[in-house]
Chain A
Amino acid sequence: MKEVASYNQAEATAEKEPKVFQEFTYDNDSNGGVLNKFEEIKGKIQEIKGIIQDLGGNYNDLVNKYEAFTNYADTMKGIVNAMNQNADAIQSNYKGVVDTAKQAVEEHMKVDSSLMTDLDELNRLLGTGTN
């Protein structure tokens, strides 16, 4: 089989495990802190979902134009559906990270109310805020 597809095997097989830290950290620096990073991750997940839609469109173009490619339709659909499920799981896990931050901030606010704006922002990132 000809291998024409661009495939980043190094990235695919790269180690992906969280680091272990010995102390809790919540760095909410207004310049480059965790809230900025959460926002960037949210945007990147949306970008990935958009690209998966584009891939589905590419596949549809092939199947719709060429009858010979209808044989591939089920495989294509399976790949796109699985990608969408994975992207949804990634989004859910990201929200899980944000939610733990929200819980930590809520707990901290029992003794220090200065993190109210953080709480508002975390609720917005989770889609549960009113702003």
Chain B
Amino acid sequence: MDQTQKKYDYKAVMDFTNTNGTLDTTLQSLQKALKELRTLVEECEPLYHGKTQNSPVYKQYQYLYANIGNEKQGLWQQVYAAAQLQNYMYTNAEYDYSHDNGQ
């Protein structure tokens, strides 16, 4: 971690990046919407589907799920990256706050 002391509003940044802060709330909303999207697609499948996995619609559903993704691909991979970044920014701000030498 960078040892240079940076003067900025540490507490404001910590609040912004902390659990249930502004940034976290946005990320929670995104995850909720992604989960709801998966549920909607799962509900759609029994209503409309092709015959076997060779049907064109099966392929499209497959691509759709792949792009919704998981930690290694798709939109969920970026959600994971955003969560890691949030953790990193909070940790750095907390470190800077605790090591502020008052200059």
A interface residues (Cβ-Cβ under 8 A, vs B): 1-9, 11-14, 16-27, 33-34, 37-38, 40-41, 44-45, 47-48, 51-52, 54-55, 58, 61-62, 65-69, 72, 75-76, 79, 82-83, 86-87, 89-90, 93-94, 96-97, 100-101, 103
Contact = CB atoms under 8 A, between A and B. Distances in A.
Contact of B16 (A23, A48, A52, A62): A62
A43 B18 CA distance: 30
A49 to B, nearest CB: 10
Interface in B1-43: 6, 8-9, 13, 16-20, 22-24, 26-31, 33-38, 40-41, 43
Interface of B: 6, 8-9, 13, 16-20, 22-24, 26-31, 33-38, 40-41, 43-53, 55-58, 60-71, 74-91, 94, 96
Given A6-B24, A41-B37, A97-B44, A55 B82 contact: yes
Contacts, number: 206
B47 A7 contact: no
Given A25-B48, A90-B75, A97-B61, A6 B34 contact: no
B38 A16 contact: yes
13 contacts: A2-B91, A4-B24, A6-B31, A12-B70, A12-B79, A21-B46, A37-B40, A52-B30, A79-B78, A83-B75, A97-B60, A100-B50, A100-B55
